[in-house]
């Protein structure tokens, strides 16, 4: 049993790393700090707006206190730019792929612990899990890169008038959520690589006996 467990040490580490990546990716999907807009309109308000994939929160500084208002949106809202609508689907897909990958690697590790190594079932389960986790990492990476490009090119968003957010801010930057998303993608890539590196233990191979002459 110890030998069988040791044969999948990298995959056990990969399971832990990939799980962290999946949690970070799912969490980043709900955060609002993908983009930070600095607003400057002395006649109405000043402050900043934090934009996520599913909502925007506005922080307005007044003479007395700071007021916060959040507005939710979805891919059905036509005023959203293409990059946000596509990223919404990519992040949802990454979460689903990561979950399926976890199910596959759990099945594979269960086989390893039970000593089921006489066929390719365990190997295929690790390969499938590796592919799914890497695909999830790619989805998150595309969302991060597209978000970065939109900020660097200072693209605007035509929010509804009720949001009281201008088409473009006077300055914008990448939000801290992007760091979380990058860590998630890296962990998913690393976990996927660990799963793809699985090899059947040599001790499990069957060798014919050679009779002495």
Domains and CATH numbers, the chain: 1-197 (1.20.140.150)
- Residue 183, pLDDT > 90, answer yes
Task: State residue 174 phi and psi, 5-degree precision.
Answer: -70, 135
**Given a cut of 60, is residue 65 above it in pLDDT?**
no
Give the single-character DSSP code of 163.
Answer: G
Q: What is the residue-averaged pLDDT of the chain? A: 83
CB–CB of 47/69 below 8 Å? no
pLDDT-derived band at 200 (thresholds 50, 70, 90) equals low
Contacts of 29 (CB under 8 A, 6+ apart): 53, 54, 91, 92, 94, 95
3 has a pLDDT exceeding 60: no
Measured CA distances, 135 to 1, 78, 199 (Å)? 32, 28, 21
Determine the length of the chain.
213
Q: Which residue has the tokens 């402050």?
A: 47
Residue 11 banded pLDDT, cuts 50, 70, 90: confident
Q: What is the pLDDT of residue 116?
A: 62
154: left (phi over 0), alpha (psi -120 to 50) or beta: left
Instruction: Quote the longest CA-to-CA distance of the chain.
Output: 101
DSSP secondary structure code for residue 118 in this structure: S
- Under the banding of pLDDT at 50, 70 and 90, the label for residue 64 is low
How far is it, in rounded angstroms, from Cα 85 to Cα 135?
19
Tell me the C-alpha distance between 185 and 73, whole Å. 25
d(CA 192, CA 133): 5
Helix (H) or strand (E) holding 89: helix 82-114
Q: What is the mean pLDDT of residues 97-123?
A: 82
CB distance 132 to 104 below 8 Å: yes
Q: How far apart are CA 17 and CA 14, in angstroms?
A: 5
CA distance 17 to 12: 9
Does residue 129 sit in helix, strand or coil?
A: helix
Task: Map tokens 């934090």 to a residue.
Answer: 50
Contact 101/129 with Cβ under 8 angstroms?
Answer: yes
């Amino acid at each position: 049993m110890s030998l069988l467990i040791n044969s999948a040490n990298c995959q056990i580490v990969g399971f832990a790393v990939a799980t962290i990546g999946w949690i970070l990716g799912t969490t980043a999907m709900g955060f609002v700090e993908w983009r930070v807009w600095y607003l400057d309109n002395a006649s109405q308000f000043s402050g900043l707006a934090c934009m996520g994939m599913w909502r925007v929160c506005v922080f307005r500084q007044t003479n007395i206190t700071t007021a916060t208002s959040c507005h939710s949106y979805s891919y059905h809202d036509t005023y959203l730019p293409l990059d946000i609508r596509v990223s919404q689907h990519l992040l949802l897909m990454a979460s689903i792929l990561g979950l399926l990958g976890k199910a596959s690697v759990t099945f594979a590790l269960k086989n390893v612990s039970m000593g089921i190594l006489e066929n390719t079932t365990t190997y295929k389960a690790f390969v499938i899990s590796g592919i799914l986790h890497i695909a999830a990492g790619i989805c998150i990476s595309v969302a991060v890169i597209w978000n970065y490009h939109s900020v660097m090119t200072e693209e605007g968003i035509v929010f509804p008038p009720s949001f009281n957010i201008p088409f473009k801010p006077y300055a914008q930057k990448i939000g801290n959520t992007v760091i979380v998303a990058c860590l998630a993608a890296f962990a998913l890539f690393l976990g996927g690589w660990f799963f793809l590196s699985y090899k059947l233990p040599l001790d499990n191979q069957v060798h014919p006996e050679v009779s002495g002459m």
